[in-house]
A and B are shown apart, each in its own frame.
Chain A
Amino acid sequence: MSNVQNIQYLYIDDGPLDESSTYAGYVMERDKSGQLSIEVKHPTDFAVQIEHIEQALSMKHGLILDLRLDQQAQKDLEGNLKKVDYRATSLAQEIRTRAAERTHGEFPILLWSFERWLQESFVQDQTSHDLFDLTIKKERLLEPPIANGMAQKMIALAQGYPIIESIRDTYMLNEGWFHHILGFENLEEAFFLDTRILENFDNINPRKKKPAHEFAFFLTRHLLEANSPLLNANVVAARLGIDITNSTDFDRLLNELFIGAKYTGIFSGGWDRWWGYLLEQKWNDLVENKNPLRSLSALKRVELLRQFSGLQNLVEAQPIRPEYSTEYWTVCQKTQKPIDPRDGFLLKRSIAYPWQEQSLVSLEAFESGEITPNNIDPVDRRRLKKVLS
């Protein structure tokens, strides 16, 4: 399965072309590999637009839509000045439905929008936007790290979709076949996973192929963007007791000592993640099962890591508050700083699947006013109110 090299996205927006091109430009220039290009166009009549997209996407690999395509009149493909009468959601729905019927040639669809209500809440969003692979407020693309992340994800999504289809077609009758999508060579390697993750897609009817976007959404929303069993770099740093900002050897540590725990499945180019279980296993091997990570202070963890890796530029993370424990296990969902769960406050449950963990925040997260006691799970609310008073 060779990777597509030149990734081309089609971006449809009713705004002025030069404005849309500017946003597209921000993202393209963050892509150092030069693989990514984005072509901007105005929307046109629904039926025509659908046909155009289907045609264009035989040569392009992904679609970006602005949410409100019906607000500004622009010259359409035939040069007529008009407003279209549909929104991105209708367009995307039609495309997805057709794709489901066709069962091949699917591609990622992204939503870029100015809409104020487009809340990018850090609490897991499980209901809305089940049409779009990624959703983002356009203004955020002005921030280099966001544009960077967007570029990488766009490439990863475009490359991943055809591979998903190929894996699905080859293996879908096998029990637990989803492990191929997750980057595991065989089922044994994936034994540590909650079996429900793999069973989710065990398909007994070969004539009813699920469309690729269903696998893609499951993967991005419930594994890559969830807080377990895959961990992002901040949580990995927390578990290793490391201050990620001030430890210049952190990346080397992960690539040298913990490379076996890295997620290498579909879309891995756009999401740097590590399997929490494999990370812990590696640690247990290094300490010969004597000192579980969870029971050690950050200082002790980093001391041992320096010993094992030979790398010196690893600094232990300081607690969010001086009285907090340094036996970090996760991060405050808001500040992304390391925290021992017992010092945190559980956020209200918004979990779609049983293998996902409840997130928590530290006291610091309330200072900006973005988090209020109402966001907190009832079990911790009384404790919070007492501390806040």
Chain B
Amino acid sequence: MSKKNAREFKKQQADNLRAIAEVLDSLDISTDAGLLRSAASACSSSLKGDDWEYRITKLYMRADQQKHISLYKNTNPNTNNIEELIFILDVEIGGKCVDETGMEDPIDHLSVECRIEATCKFSKQYSCAWHLDKNIGNTQTESKNFVHPMYHFQFGGRSQPENLGDLLFIEPPRLVHPPMDAVLAIDFVLSNYFPLTWQRVRQESKYMSIIRTAQHYFWKPYLLQLNNWSTGKDKLSSSEIWPHLL
């Protein structure tokens, strides 16, 4: 890849991160968008030729009792008892720069983890986590016998409460899910946990443009590869994404 194209790709990702930082700042959610700007700096200045990467640690988004938490149903503990609910995102992503056709997957390594912490009456803390990883084809791990879609979504994470009570925790299932960079991860969190905010913001052309850019780079190659199954062209590659396909 030419130096100029690699730089373009990194700049595009950096600009996108900065743009979503601005959008986040304008929403009705208490957060620290500065981390996205730092990640943008890291991304645009990674000088290692074709390689790109950035890392975001502890990007928090705080849900408000009236605006957000009260909408949740079937929660444990009951929403009336939840005084504070915070979503904390960690994103580690990197790979090789690609051109703008959206044919190639730019990701070599990916780890998105979302920790959710609730503080309830009498300062009792609850938490849970989910994460999305790229399977790097490592068959030597302890869980080698279990199905590992290339990008998979899983409940649980590196940081979990010690006291799981009656909750049974086992690693599977690993759900097939498209990759997410920081932009798509934020969109995911907004859509699932701040639905009214998400519905509003996703009608704004700036936000739409940001998400489309991210989907173009990270979901188009994924969908193209998956589509090989229906065209019958290269079924093997689509089963990397979705091992269940035959």
Q: Which residues of A contact B (CB under 8 A)?
A: 188, 191-195, 228-229, 276-277, 280-281, 292, 294-295, 327, 329, 341-342, 346, 349, 351, 354-355, 357-358, 377-380, 382-383, 386
How distant is B39 from chain A, measured CB to nearest CB, in Å? 10
Asked if A358 and B25 make an inter-chain contact with CB atoms under 8 angstroms apart, the answer reads: yes
Asked if A191 and B44 make an inter-chain contact with CB atoms under 8 angstroms apart, the answer reads: yes
- A382's contact among B15, B38, B57, B64, by CB below 8 Å, is which? B64
Given contacts A294-B35, A327-B58, A342-B60, contact A379 B44 (CB under 8 A): no
How distant is A381 from chain B, measured CB to nearest CB, in Å? 10
Asked if A355 and B37 make an inter-chain contact with CB atoms under 8 angstroms apart, the answer reads: yes
- Chain B minimum-CB-distance residue to A189: B45
- B66's contact among A195, A292, A341, A382, by CB below 8 Å, is which? A382
Asked if B35 and A378 make an inter-chain contact with CB atoms under 8 angstroms apart, the answer reads: no
Given contacts A192-B44, A229-B41, A342-B62, contact A380 B30 (CB under 8 A): yes
Asked if B34 and A342 make an inter-chain contact with CB atoms under 8 angstroms apart, the answer reads: no
Neighbouring B residues of A383 by C-beta, 8 Å: 30, 62, 64, 84
Taking residues whose C-beta sits less than 8 angstroms from the other chain, chain B's interface range is: 20 to 34
Q: Which of B44-103 contact A (CB under 8 A)?
A: 44-45, 47, 55, 57-58, 60, 62, 64-66, 83-84, 86, 90
Q: How far is the CA of A109 from the CA of B21 in the complex (A)?
A: 36
B174 at the interface (CB under 8 A from A): no
B32 at the interface (CB under 8 A from A): yes
Q: Which of B1-58 contact A (CB under 8 A)?
A: 11, 15, 18, 21-22, 25, 27-30, 32-35, 37-38, 40-42, 44-45, 47, 55, 57-58
Asked if B28 and A379 make an inter-chain contact with CB atoms under 8 angstroms apart, the answer reads: yes
Neighbouring B residues of A354 by C-beta, 8 Å: 18, 21-22
- Chain B minimum-CB-distance residue to A379: B30
Q: How far is the CA of A381 from the CA of B121 in the complex (A)?
A: 20
Neighbouring A residues of B11 by C-beta, 8 Å: 195
Asked if A295 and B18 make an inter-chain contact with CB atoms under 8 angstroms apart, the answer reads: no
Asked if B41 and A193 make an inter-chain contact with CB atoms under 8 angstroms apart, the answer reads: yes
Q: How far is the CA of A62 from the CA of B65 in the complex (A)?
A: 54
- Chain A minimum-CB-distance residue to B55: A292
- A192's contact among B15, B45, B83, by CB below 8 Å, is which? B45
Given A194-B37, A294-B57, 12 additional A-B pairs, CB 8 A: A194-B18, A276-B38, A277-B42, A292-B57, A295-B57, A327-B58, A342-B60, A349-B25, A355-B37, A357-B33, A378-B28, A383-B30
Asked if B34 and A228 make an inter-chain contact with CB atoms under 8 angstroms apart, the answer reads: yes
Neighbouring B residues of A341 by C-beta, 8 Å: 32, 60
Q: How far is the CA of A346 from the CA of B29 in the complex (A)?
A: 11
Q: How far is the CA of A103 from the CA of B21 in the complex (A)?
A: 38
- Interchain residue pairs with CB less than 8 A apart (12): A191-B47, A194-B18, A194-B41, A195-B11, A327-B58, A351-B25, A354-B18, A355-B37, A378-B28, A379-B64, A382-B65, A383-B30
Neighbouring B residues of A342 by C-beta, 8 Å: 32, 60, 62, 86
- Chain A minimum-CB-distance residue to B123: A323
Neighbouring A residues of B33 by C-beta, 8 Å: 357
Given contacts A188-B47, A383-B64, contact A277 B57 (CB under 8 A): no
How distant is B5 from chain A, measured CB to nearest CB, in Å? 16
Neighbouring B residues of A355 by C-beta, 8 Å: 18, 37
- Chain A minimum-CB-distance residue to B58: A294
Q: How far is the CA of A194 from the CA of B32 in the complex (A)?
A: 17
Q: How far is the CA of A294 from the CA of B34 in the complex (A)?
A: 12
Asked if B18 and A277 make an inter-chain contact with CB atoms under 8 angstroms apart, the answer reads: no
Neighbouring A residues of B44 by C-beta, 8 Å: 191-192, 195
Asked if B32 and A191 make an inter-chain contact with CB atoms under 8 angstroms apart, the answer reads: no
Q: How far is the CA of A368 from the CA of B29 in the complex (A)?
A: 27
Q: How far is the CA of A281 from the CA of B64 in the complex (A)?
A: 34
Q: How far is the CA of A295 from the CA of B91 in the complex (A)?
A: 12
Given contacts A191-B45, A341-B60, A379-B64, contact A357 B34 (CB under 8 A): yes
Neighbouring A residues of B38 by C-beta, 8 Å: 276-277, 280
- Chain B minimum-CB-distance residue to A281: B42
Q: How far is the CA of A279 from the CA of B102 in the complex (A)?
A: 34
Q: How far is the CA of A355 from the CA of B22 in the complex (A)?
A: 9
How distant is A137 from chain B, measured CB to nearest CB, in Å? 31
Q: How far is the CA of A188 from the CA of B34 in the complex (A)?
A: 22
How distant is B125 from chain A, measured CB to nearest CB, in Å? 11
